[in-house]
Amino acid sequence: MPQESPVNDARIASWIERFGGYRREVGQPEIEAWLRQFRDNRDVGARLLDATEFLTRNDLEVAFREVLGRLPGWSAKETERSGRWFFVSFSASAGESGDSMVHVFRVANQLTHRRFNANFVYKSDLPSLRPGGEDTVIFIDDLSGTGDQAIRAWEENLQELLPERPRVILVVAVAGWKAVERIQERTELELWAHQRLEREDDLFGPECQHFSSTEKEAVLALCRRASRAMPKGYGDCGWLLVFQHRCPNNSVAVLHSSSSRFTGLFPRD
């Protein structure tokens, strides 16, 4: 277990350097105010920040480049590709992560030239494009935590949009182990992730050795103050993960949720 170290200016400066690019201001006043809420467990709060993984846009580009690079059948040269390839935003709401992820994906893989425009399509284009057994449809998103959304989407409309059964892939930067198992079990989607979060990445799980059980209890009590409904994050994932563009709701509540009794450091709104 890591030793206690003081929360001094240098340590705060290192957090500001890491988290400063978050969509909402994360500066010294915000960090100090957040830590004050931990009262006697200020050190635990500080160690939560140390352990938090912060993925920048650049990190996502690296992730998307790596994943597409190892997808069998893909080539930037059309003549070397097997079948037709279509890239689609998994989440469609304007401004949502899936929507902007397509742009990051395109830039990362140097697919911004207009000759690739026909490869980047809307979900609602799919029925008329009729991708078949030889073709590949890639849905792009930043994260799949529990697989709930992917499974629901598969059951509710993806199958209907893709009646000719092409190869369907969900590419994400990060996937939780629950998502990997459940998507494989319940859909025909292939999940390709750059990084997989395992059981030991669940802060509250027995496999996590970074915090003692007493410290976990203290954090959980604060998480309950932040969010009574999902203190451990959506799907009880218990993650310490923040994307520069938004903190996922699978992360522990003290990171992103706010109530009258606690204010998260990485608000999602």
Residue numbers of the site for another protein (CB under 8 A)? 89-94, 96, 122-128, 130, 133, 149-150, 152-153, 155-157, 159-161, 163-165
User: What distance in Å separates the CA atoms of residue 92 and residue 94, rounded to the nearest whole number?
Assistant: 6
**Residue spans of alpha helices (H) in 91-158:** 97-108, 126-129, 148-153
Nearest-approach distance from CB 179 to another protein, in angstroms? 13
Strand order in the sheet with 136-144: 85-89, 136-144, 167-176, 190-197
Q: Which residues contact 111 (CB under 8 A, 6 or more apart)?
A: 76, 87, 105, 119, 120
Shortest Å, Cβ 126 to another protein: 8
Q: Shortest Cβ distance from residue 30 to another protein (Å)?
A: 26
Query: What is the distance between the alpha carbons of residues 245 and 229, in angstroms, rounded to a whole number?
Result: 24
Rounded to a whole number of angstroms, the minimum distance from the CB of residue 180 to another protein is: 17
Pairing of strands 167-176, 190-197: parallel
Measured distance CA(231)–CA(193) in Å, rounded = 26
Of the two residues 31 and 169, which places its CB atom closer to another protein in the complex?
A: 169
Q: How far is the CB of 239 from another protein (least distance, A)?
A: 18
The Cα 102–Cα 111 span in angstroms is: 10
Nearest CB to another protein, comparing residues 47 and 167: 167
Both tokens assigned to 82: 């097997």
242: which 2 tokens?
Answer: 């923040």
CB-nearer residue toward another protein: 161 or 208: 161
Nearer to another protein, 171 or 240 (CB): 171
Q: How far is the CB of 37 from another protein (least distance, A)?
A: 28
Q: Least CB distance from residue 5 to another protein, whole Å?
A: 40
For residue 63, the Cα-to-chain-centroid distance in whole angstroms is 11
Give the nearer residue to another protein in terms of CB position, either 10 or 94: 94
Q: Which is nearer to another protein, 139 or 239 (CB)?
A: 139
Element of type H or E holding 247: none
CA separation, residue 50 to residues 77, 108, 129, 131, 150 (Å):
43, 28, 47, 46, 31
For residues 47 and 256, which CB has a smaller minimum distance to another protein in the complex?
256
Q: How far is CA 242 from the centre of its chain?
A: 8
